[in-house]
Structure 1
């Protein structure tokens, strides 16, 4: 057991912290680093612990083992660091789990309106007849047969016009980002 330099008449007030630091810095640093796995945080805690011991020096004369006292101070600092880290991580997880803000919803709606405008622009490439067939087919879910009956046209004529319309849409949207072009074609062909 290490003796308390305060009670043995050893180093005076000017050398107390320096001697304590030389003697115990490395073991305290090794413990803190092993516990925290963060060198900068470990060093902050160890140095802070030495300063706490220096500040509490007038009250330490009754302490029999200054090394144990210092070790407990470092251990408590590590525990506080873990607790603060846990609180911070929990807070960050809670924030991440929050529902989207009003601003995010506004952005989503704005982008949705832009997509709708884009779809209308793309559909404007079609003749009125082709547009009607595409809308009836894909937006209303009607079959070629149903469309032909409703428009008083032959099934082959409706199928051919639908095919021409889809080809126009594919050909006129080659410069779109690949994912958006695929999405449009999937929506139209579904």
Structure 2
């Protein structure tokens, strides 16, 4: 009974926060959205050096499990966290773009990465505000702000208000949620 209640609360909360953000979202893996095709969304593309229209990526749990490693699946689809100082990109200093491991959406530029001392890749802003979505996260008896990919709803990490200028924000991301593409 508790599991059913939690699932209903999660679905209602997801719909409520999506409506508050002015974005029509479908829970990841839900193909039952009244038979509708994924909505088109506007995203920034580093390759195009501008904004493009893209379809939302919606897959079943089985499709995500087939595509992702167990760690990637746990982090992006189950809202997990990799251990500090363990991810592939926390100490990366190369020039490039960090993309969503699930859908390839451009998320962060190395130009906005900084050393936060936390053991996770940290950025003071996303590559474009449209490419990530934030949601309240009150799990683990804390009030935090979750960051998800705007294209596929993958959990990326959290954003905190203790970052450097000019934004004062720290986007604390999981390496397992991103792939890194070097720039020439």
| TM-score of the two chains, using structure 2 as the length reference | 0.19
Q: Whose strand fraction is larger, Structure 1's or Structure 2's? A: 2
Indicate the structure (1 or 2) with the bigger Cα radius of gyration. Answer: 1
